[in-house]
Amino acid sequence: MRLPRDLTGEELVQRLARLGYRVERQTGSHVRMTWEGPSGPHAITIPLHRPLRVGTLAGILKAVAEARGIDRKELQQPLDL
């Protein structure tokens, strides 16, 4: 499935919050989010760019999917991507 080309960093932060990630801090144009998983905390940095580049979005989704132990395609459905 293709990734959206018009997703902003702010929108991704909101969608990750639905999965249990919380904003830890914001420094400039980047937000640090954490998720408390069964194997320990997972932290990810989200740039607040408009729009996010496809490679950046793919890398973020890959890291989140690996932390949750699921496939990236399975992650796209709850995030409405």
Q: For 2-11, what is each residue's pLDDT tens digit?
A: 888 999 999 9
Q: For 3-36, what is each residue's pLDDT tens digit?
A: 889 999 999 999 999 999 999 999 899 999 999 9
Q: So what's the pLDDT on residue 75?
A: 87
Residue type, 8: T
**What residues does each domain of the chain span?**
9-74
CB-CB contact of 65 with 78 (8 Å): no
pLDDT at 55 over 80: yes
Q: So what's the pLDDT on residue 29?
A: 94
CA 73 to chain centre: 13
CATH C-level class of 9-74: alpha beta
pLDDT at 59 over 80: yes
